[in-house]
Amino acid sequence: MKLPEAAGLALAFIARLITGAQGHWHGSTPKAEQRIYFANHQSHFDWVLIWAALPHDLRAATRPIAARDYWTASPFKHWLTREVFNAVYVSRQRAKDGVVEEEDPLEPLMEALRHGDSLVIFPEGTRGHAADPAPFKSGLYALAQAFPDVQLIPAWIDNVQRVMPKGEVVPVPILCTVVFGAAVALQPGEERRAFLDRARRAVMALREVA
């Protein structure tokens, strides 16, 4: 076993020790199909939780999205996201000084999906602290349009904001669950806003199940 793999196992173990990281599947099953998981976002811990809640053999093919400027800033962060999590890096600023950069921020995601990988995305864009998730950004819609064959699985992450509130570094052991729901498909001719709202409701509906 190589170091990144061992580090991954250790991290999953710690996540389970601290949060239980229980995955509940309602309407979909943990299968090795190409998928985009989309979830509510409240903490830095969210990704680790989803990742630890997935069965071991799905973890390697399921990749997070990481902001390039932050997650490549130090050698350790870079190593962690590149080697352990196999993250997809995106650049945060699209327009700098009024000049639009050439690269579409979604391009790395598209590349990963063409490659056959599964992704975990947080369509709110940023960590929220309200009870309900913020309106979804349009990236999910673009991905759903470009890859109609990839399943879109909503997920609700419960309790994680109590584990590590914004600004704290050490997590408190509190049980968390991740509820995965039934796949949401883009209907023919569905409007962007309507689809994003429907996807958001699909995530929120899982809160009742949790």
Partner 1 sequence: MGDLRDLSVSQQVGLLFVVVFGLLALVTIVAFGRSLRDLTPEQTALRERFARELRALWFAAVLFWIAWVSGPLGSTLLFGFVSFVALREFVTLTHTRRADHRSLLLAFFVVLPLQYVLVGLRLANAFTVFIPVYVFFAIPVISALANDPFRFLERTAKIQWGITVTVYGMSHAPALLLLDLPRYRERGAFLVLFLVFVVVAAQLGQEAATRRLRRRPVARAISRSFSWRAFGAGVAASAVVGLLLSWVTPFNPLAAIAMAAIAGAAGTLGEFVMKALKRDAGVRSWSGASSVTGAVGLLDRVAPLCFAAPVFFHSVRGYFGI
Nearer to partner 1, 40 or 81 (CB): 40
Closest distance of CB 50 from partner 1, Å: 15
Closest distance of CB 115 from partner 1, Å: 34
Task: Name the 3-class secondary structure at 128.
Answer: coil
Within 8 A by CB and 6+ apart from 35, the residues are: 62, 118, 119, 150, 151, 152, 153, 183
Closest distance of CB 162 from partner 1, Å: 7
Nearer to partner 1, 179 or 202 (CB): 179
Q: Which residue has the tokens 């509820």?
A: 179
Return d(Cα 147, Cα 136) in angstroms, integer: 18
What's at 144, amino acid-wise? A
Closest distance of CB 153 from partner 1, Å: 19
What's at 101, amino acid-wise? E
Closest distance of CB 201 from partner 1, Å: 21
Nearer to partner 1, 111 or 132 (CB): 132
Nearer to partner 1, 192 or 207 (CB): 207
Nearer to partner 1, 18 or 196 (CB): 18
Return d(Cα 175, Cα 144) in angstroms, integer: 32
User: For the range 131-139, what are the long-range contacts, defined as Cβ-Cβ under 8 Å and sequence gap of 24 or more?
Assistant: 132/204, 133/40, 133/41, 133/200, 133/203, 133/204, 135/196, 135/197, 135/200, 136/38, 136/196, 136/197, 136/199, 136/200, 137/196, 138/192, 138/196, 139/105, 139/106, 139/109
Angle 64-15-20 (CA atoms, 0-180°, nearest 5)? 120
Binding interface with partner 1 (CB under 8 A):
18, 20, 22, 24, 158-159, 162, 165, 168, 170, 172-177, 210
Nearer to partner 1, 4 or 30 (CB): 30
Closest distance of CB 203 from partner 1, Å: 18
